[in-house]
Structure 1
Amino acid sequence: MLNRRLFLKSSALIGCSAAAHPLLSSIAFASAPSENRLVVIILRGAMDGLDVFQPYGDPQLRKLRQTISLGPDKGAHDLDGFFALHPALSSLLPLWKAGELGFVPSVSTPYRDKRSHFDGQDMLEAGTGTDLDLDRQRDGWLNRLLHNMPGAQSETAYSVGTEDMRILAGDAPAKSWAPEIDLRISSQAQMLLQHVYHDDPLFREAGSEAMEIAGQGVEGNREDKEGGPTRDARALAHFAASRLNEETRIATFSLPGWDSHARQGAVLERALLRLADAILTLRKDLGGNWPKTTVLAMTEFGRTARENGSGGTDHGTGGSMLVAGGAVRGGTVLGKWPGLGESDLYAGRDLMPVADIRAYAAWAMRDLFGTSRDALETSVFPGLDMGENPRIIRG
């Protein structure tokens, strides 16, 4: 049953676990004048890139970690003789071999040292370069991208989830809905709700938006009877693909659950299975549009190079970005490796970031949609120096 709680845009969740809560997710869309598709997946909770893409060829890894990131000898899949893929992503190996999966090691936003999920996620989604910029920039980088794409239809943007996505916040309007609530209601019930909320300025607009989204098929794939712990991720990906197969060209959704202070093996396995199933669902449902699709999976920051005493890792700096899709230059490492020696680590504890993750997103948008470099460096990602093209897109 629909009630006013459905339309609340925030909650009183406090602390580390709230920002990385496994039940928080969201999704957003926008159309654009292009045949290319872009999917941005926000991995909330700080994914440990050193465990997902394990640099087992670096001899320092074994000195830093004793129970995690153990390489091919413990089930990880060798990729190139230096890096190995986490066992939970084994279903994505065919994509790596087909050149449709790659990754960028040692990247981060400009966020440093404070290691807060909330601030790190805001920095990632706002696309800013400093905390001062973050205070001034109240919108998100995908929203600003729309304003720099002639012909983009920002009125088709949606935000679906229990928390707002800053990445699409801004002048372009967005609509919100909580995905765990079933919005299948009769026309008579819709008329009753419209009557009840008509004179309520707080909920009238939100109620109208909720019923509009209810008719869009957000509730997921009704043919998916498999269930299981990855069903929510598959539903998000299925709905994203259904929109991308029509007029939508940009989709973004979040997958939480990456905070792994303890028992990282179990935490990361669950999160990676959800990510893998989301990507495979996109690939299957997009069909002929998959070759024109780029998926960027980004996280707010990495984790410490050293394993802690609880079999996990703490908040760090440098992390990894996963790229997938028929449009990407996969089957290879798309970036540089700084090493794990004591002098190589950031602040003596973290993987050293050698590139700004915003530059990779910017070049993807330059190559996919033809957005000008000037707009990307001054408006979409203010203060960014894109540097040379890393060529993560085929072409």
Structure 2
Amino acid sequence: MFSRRAFLSRSALIGCSLAASPLVTPISFAATPGENRLVVIILRGGMDGLDVVQPYGDPDFARLRGAPGVADPDGPVDLDGFYALHPALRPLLPLWQQGQLGFVQAVSTPYRDKRSHFDGQDLLEAGITDLSRGLSRDGWLNRLLQHVPGAGAETAYAIGRDSMAILNGPAPVSGWSPDADLALSPQAMRLAALVMKDDPLFETAMARAFALADSDGDPVAIDGGTDEMMSMIESDRKASRGAGAESRIARFAAERLRADTRIASFSINGWDTHEAQARPLGRALARLSDTILALRDAL
């Protein structure tokens, strides 16, 4: 007899990447009341905030870092006569001018005078004030969900391959990674339906997994053979590690937010620039700008 266990164990041979697939994760759908959405983007590492939003009107800034050339069309972008925006964020200037973008300067967690970005980041995501009693692994965003009436697994999404400590905790959270995909032949999908038909919970979870896998724009049912299925999955994996991966995550988040999802969180890496940072910081900020605009446009 061909059992569910046998189907799952053999699915990798017909193009289902189980290690990254939503097929093995029961997915439920629920909406929270209201139409507000919240997206939290974690910038992992140690961003130099003074270079992102530059207080060039402060004489100490000019003395220590040099006066930015706000008159240079390729230089920092003046915001209000005191602050200037890093030139890599120039595409976001219309959002600032329309009152849709703001910056909060000179704030910090209580984690000061230490050397670990990892501890500081964990404290930020946990939403606690110090590490003296150890780190609570419940994230503050998960604790918020526990107080939202009607919150379910589809209410919040942790998106990407990185562990999202901010969403750790007992409240249910769905996850998606841009390199997760399903690719099955129509015959394999029919076989799966037959195998699962006597288990309503698994049958429902499988149908929702197919819908989720299909929602990134790649079809789940592939008429080609195993080589085409595996090629599609490998293409997804390469795309998730290449240029534009964050924008793809943003577009997926927007699609879920247009449906039942109300909260989404993902991260962008590459902020440990340390020294000689002009080029790497500019690249990281350009990716951040692209991500924000992709999210805005897709919503």
The reply to whether TM is greater than 0.5 is yes
| Cα shift at 1:39 | 1.0
Amino acid across the alignment from 2:212: Q
> Take 1:79 and 1:101, find their aligned partners in 2: how far apart are those partners?
11
How is 1:268-347 mapped onto 2 (pairs within 5 angstroms)? 268-286=281-299
| Cα shift at 1:234 | 1.3
CA spacing shift, 1:284–1:191, aligned 2, 3 Å: same
Match of 2:211 in 1: 215
> Take 1:141 and 1:191, find their aligned partners in 2: how far apart are those partners?
42
> Take 1:34 and 1:271, find their aligned partners in 2: how far apart are those partners?
34
CA contact (8 A) 1:46 1:259 kept: yes
CA spacing shift, 1:101–1:177, aligned 2, 3 Å: closer
Match of 1:170 in 2: 169
Unaligned runs of 5+ in 1: 8-28, 195-204, 287-395
> Take 1:214 and 1:157, find their aligned partners in 2: how far apart are those partners?
19
> Take 1:176 and 1:246, find their aligned partners in 2: how far apart are those partners?
15
> Take 1:259 and 1:116, find their aligned partners in 2: how far apart are those partners?
11
SS in structure 2 at match of 1:103: coil
* Percent of aligned pairs sharing the same letter: 53
- The runs of 4+ residues in structure 1 deviating greater than 6 Å are 190-194, 208-211
| Cα shift at 1:46 | 1.7
Match of 1:91 in 2: 91
- Which whole-Å deviations, capped at 9, do the CAs of 1:114-171 have from their partners, x for residues lacking one? 2312212211111111103552x22111110011122222454443332220111100
Amino acid across the alignment from 1:51: D
| Cα shift at 1:175 | 4.3
**Which has the larger share of helix?**
2
> Take 2:124 and 2:89, find their aligned partners in 1: how far apart are those partners?
24
Amino acid across the alignment from 1:140: G
Amino acid across the alignment from 2:70: P
Match of 1:147 in 2: 146
| Cα shift at 1:258 | 1.1
SS in structure 2 at match of 1:70: coil
Amino acid across the alignment from 1:162: R
| Cα shift at 1:181 | 4.1
Match of 1:359 in 2: none
Match of 1:46 in 2: 46
- Which whole-Å deviations, capped at 9, do the CAs of 1:236-285 have from their partners, x for residues lacking one? 11111111111111111111111111331111111111111111122212
CA-based RMSD of the aligned residues comes to 3.3
CA spacing shift, 1:214–1:119, aligned 2, 3 Å: farther
| Cα shift at 1:189 | 4.9
How is 1:1-395 mapped onto 2 (pairs within 5 angstroms)? 1-2=15-16, 6=20, 31-66=31-66, 70-74=68-72, 75-132=75-132, 134-135=134-135, 137-154=136-153, 156-186=155-185, 189=188, 212-213=208-209, 215-217=211-213, 220=216, 230-286=243-299
> Take 1:60 and 1:30, find their aligned partners in 2: how far apart are those partners?
52
Match of 2:196 in 1: none
**Which has the larger share of strand?**
1
CA contact (8 A) 2:178 2:245 kept: no
Greater Rg over alpha carbons, structure: 2
Match of 2:236 in 1: none
> Take 2:133 and 2:207, find their aligned partners in 1: how far apart are those partners?
36
CA spacing shift, 1:185–1:172, aligned 2, 3 Å: farther
Equivalent pairs, count: 248
Q: Taking structure 2 as the reference length, what is the TM-score of the superposition?
A: 0.71
> Take 1:260 and 1:92, find their aligned partners in 2: how far apart are those partners?
22
CA contact (8 A) 1:71 1:84 kept: no
